[in-house]
Amino acid sequence: MNRRNFLAKLTHFFSLALGALIALPVFRFLLESLKEQSDSSWVSISSADANIATDEFVQISFKRLVQNGWTRQLVEELVWVRKKADGSFIVFNPHCTHLGCAFGWNSNSKEFQCPCHGGKFDRDGKRIAGPPPRPLDRYETKVENNVLKIGKLMKA
C-alpha cells in the first residue's frame, strides 16, 4: 500500500466515523419519538369503579406527561366523564369548540354551558345553542384492569 492509498482509506474511515457520529443522535431521536407516541397514547385517569354515578357527569383531574421540545413535564388536565348505563364511558375535553373556554355541567338543565359566549351542548355533546361550530370533542376510552383510560382526542 502506497502513501496515497493509505491517506485515501484513512479519509474514508474518518468520513464514515463522522457520518455515524452525526447520524446516531438523529436515529435515536426518531426512535424515541416513535416509541413515546405508542406508549403514551393511553392515559389512566381513574378507577372504573370510582365515584362516577351512572348518567351523571363528573369532572376528573389527572396528570399527563407532556413533551415540549426537549423538556418533559407533568401537566394537570381536566375532563368531563359520564358512565353510561351499559358500563361504557364518555369523556369530553372540557374546552368549548367555539373559542376554547372551559365549560361546566348544569345538572338542573342537564346540559353543558359555556360562560364565554353562551354555547350549550346536550349530554351527548351535541350543540344545542350558541356560536360553537361543532359538537364537543371527546376522547377515545377503554377500561383495562379496572382502570379508565383515555386515548386520542377525537374532534367532531
pLDDT digits (tens, 9 = 90+) for 92-133: 999 999 999 999 999 899 999 999 999 999 999 999 999 999
Instruction: Give strand pairing partners of 6.
Output: none
Predicted confidence at residue 56, as pLDDT, reads: 85
Residue 35 has pLDDT above 80, yes or no: no
Predicted confidence at residue 134, as pLDDT, reads: 94
Backbone Cα Rg of the chain:
25
Distance (Å, rounded) from C-alpha 65 to C-alpha 75?
6
Predicted confidence at residue 17, as pLDDT, reads: 95
Predicted confidence at residue 6, as pLDDT, reads: 94
Count helices and strands (H / E) in the chain: 1, 10
Residue 81's identity, in one-letter code, is: V
Distance (Å, rounded) from C-alpha 121 to C-alpha 128?
5
Predicted confidence at residue 36, as pLDDT, reads: 60
Predicted confidence at residue 95, as pLDDT, reads: 94
Count of all residues that appear for the chain in the document: 156
pLDDT digits (tens, 9 = 90+) for 50-90: 777 777 899 999 998 887 777 889 999 999 999 988 888 99
